Amino acid sequence: MIDWNQVETLLLDMDGTLLDLHFDSHFWLEHLPRRYAELHKLDLQSIRDPLIQSIMAEQGQLSWYSLDYWSERLQVDIVALKKEIQHLIGFRVDALDFLQWVKNAHPRVILATNADRKSLALKLELTGLDEYLDAIVSSADIGIPKEEQGYWQALQTLEPFNPATTLLIDDNETVLDSARRYGIAQLITITQPDSQSPQRQLTQYPAVTRFAELQPVTKEG
Ligand SMILES: [Mg+2]
């Protein structure tokens, strides 16, 4: 599926690609509404749907990814609430094996993420993911999400890459569309970003469930 000799730069998304999206889904759809209702002494049943709708309305924008934004807007400490369920933060299936293999297989590895610095601090500390990365470029640092061309332009300035020899793996197809418009040659998505949700059957991009599908088969013995 991938000719690794043609890959000089590997761009990796974090949530839903390397890390199990179950943590984020559970946080925003279950834990936050419950704790928000408790902290503000509101009825969960009546606030849950409107709260989730107001969160989803920001999808794809920088605010959607900003923990400071949601802390301010909802008047709760989002980082503290995330820490309450931090045991759910973890790698997706064989992501760690893949990172270890990639480290020996030579391409430069850049984490290209929409996660803000507070999300990153929590997740890097718990996973040790940064050990496998040559650079981390958060859209929060740039001020533009990956869904927009400006992110890739800024990434190009910060960590120069040749789009023709770059592979991006990202579970978000809107982000892959944006990367394709920028000219990134190789694009792969993920069938099951959230381990607790069903696999996605229809994707516009080549998709893998396990990263092992991207690695050359090695003969043993
Ligand atoms: Mg993602």
User: Are the C-beta atoms of 144 and 150 separated by less than 8 Å?
Assistant: yes
**How far apart are the CA of 92 and the centre of ligand 1, in A?**
12
**How far apart are the CA of 14 and the centre of ligand 1, in A?**
6
User: Are the C-beta atoms of 153 and 161 separated by less than 8 Å?
Assistant: no
In angstroms, the CA 140 to CA 217 distance is 38
Percentage of the chain with pLDDT > 90? 91
**How far apart are the CA of 115 and the centre of ligand 1, in A?**
9
In angstroms, the CA 202 to CA 215 distance is 22
Sort 201 into a burial class: Cβ within 10 Å, 0-12 / 13-18 / 19+. Answer: exposed
**How far apart are the CA of 170 and the centre of ligand 1, in A?**
6
**How far apart are the CA of 137 and the centre of ligand 1, in A?**
14
Q: How much is the mean pLDDT over the chain?
A: 95
Q: Hey, what are 42's tokens?
A: 């509101």
User: Are the C-beta atoms of 52 and 28 separated by less than 8 Å?
Assistant: yes
- Average pLDDT in the 110-134 region? 97
Confidence grade of residue 128 (pLDDT, cut at 50, 70, 90): very high
**How far apart are the CA of 41 and the centre of ligand 1, in A?**
33
Q: Which residues are CB-neighbours of 94 under 8 A, at least 6 positions away?
A: 210, 211, 212
Domain ranges of the chain: 4-20+89-214, 23-87
Which residues lie near ion ligand 1 (Cβ < 5 Å)? 13, 15-16, 171-172
Assigned architecture for domain 4-20+89-214: 3-Layer(aba) Sandwich (3.40)
Q: Which residues are CB-neighbours of 201 under 8 A, at least 6 positions away?
A: none
Q: Which residues are CB-neighbours of 12 under 8 A, at least 6 positions away?
A: 18, 109, 110, 111, 112, 133, 168, 169, 170
Confidence grade of residue 105 (pLDDT, cut at 50, 70, 90): confident
**How far apart are the CA of 171 and the centre of ligand 1, in A?**
5
Say whether pTM exceeds 0.85.
yes
**How far apart are the CA of 180 and the centre of ligand 1, in A?**
16
pLDDT at 81: 98
